[in-house]
Amino acid sequence: MISPLVSIVLPCYKAEDTIDYSLKGILNQTYQNWELLIIIDGRNDILLDKVKSSSKNDKRIKIIYSKKNRGVIRTRNIGIRLSNGLWLAFCDADDYWLPNKLTYQIFKAKEENAGIVCSAFCFYYQGINRLDLIQTKKIIDYSVMLKTNAIPMSTAILKVDSYCKHYFPSIPDNFVHEDYAFWLTILQKRSIKVAYISEVTTHILKSRGSRSSNKLLSAKSHAYILTNFTSLPKFKIALMMINYIYNAIYKRYFSRFSLI
């Protein structure tokens, strides 16, 4: 089986407490043909020293150090621009990949001729050492994505377009879910097969007080993205928001199973 190069984009900002954990998951991948672009977003010598120590002079790892804090959108876009792989993967600096993540996903991509592969994941609650299993949607397309963001960023791999690379669109700093805007713009432009793996590939750290855990902010951000990155009329946006709230409640209370 041909092993295409996977470019892993890992933005870092104030991640000195979690970066070792994330790097361990990447370095322990059974799939070996990858490059890792670590973009340190803002002056942080402690984080830089940790990244250099954990990388162990692995030639597959490239460290990009920005003294200026540019934000996660511009940081990820720097990684995409500098990437060389046929596939792009994204890992946040507080998330952890299980060893077979890339192996499973590259195989699944070939099996289903898919351009995006994502998977189930676990929310990890560090303080209470708890894992909650989350399944999103087994069938994912543009119509499904209008109702809910069914492609968790740290679980996904994306095949690079043969004509151009896709970048994260800009959204105001007071909103979140830039990944949702990214997937929507891609699925609008390209006819692309999305494959889903029911096995867990990723642990996503769930932190109290984080912007992404703010439910009201998440709902406002979802509405903003639907309004500005789709051509839906207002009444359909209202219907999509009802679906969004339903899916959020379902995921929170009915599709979550505690593993430890």
| pLDDT tens profile 69-82 | 999 999 999 999 99
pLDDT reported for residue 258: 63
Q: Model-level pTM?
A: 0.93
pLDDT reported for residue 256: 59
Going by the DSSP 8-state scheme, the letter that residue 32 receives in this structure is -
**Domains of the chain from N-terminus onward:** 6-258 (3.90.550.10)
* 98 compared with 259, residue with greater pLDDT: 98
| pLDDT tens profile 138-196 | 999 999 999 999 999 999 999 998 778 999 999 999 999 999 999 999 999 888 999 99
Long-range contacts of 102-105 (CB under 8 A, 24+ apart): 102/6, 102/29, 102/30, 102/31, 102/34, 102/157, 103/29, 103/30, 103/31, 104/197, 104/199, 104/201, 105/157, 105/197, 105/201
Q: Which two tokens stand for residue 6?
A: 């996977």
| pLDDT tens profile 244-259 | 998 888 766 665 566 6
Q: Which two tokens stand for residue 204?
A: 């996503």
Dihedral angle, C-alpha 143, 95, 58, 83, nearest 10 °:
30
> What's the Cα-to-Cα distance from 42 to each of 12, 64, 173, rounded to whole Å?
9, 11, 16
Percent of the chain exceeding pLDDT 90 equals 79
Tell whether the model's pLDDT for residue 1 goes beyond 60: no
Cα–chain center distance at 220: 20
- List helix spans (H) across 28-112: 45-55, 72-82, 101-112
End-to-end CA distance of the chain: 36
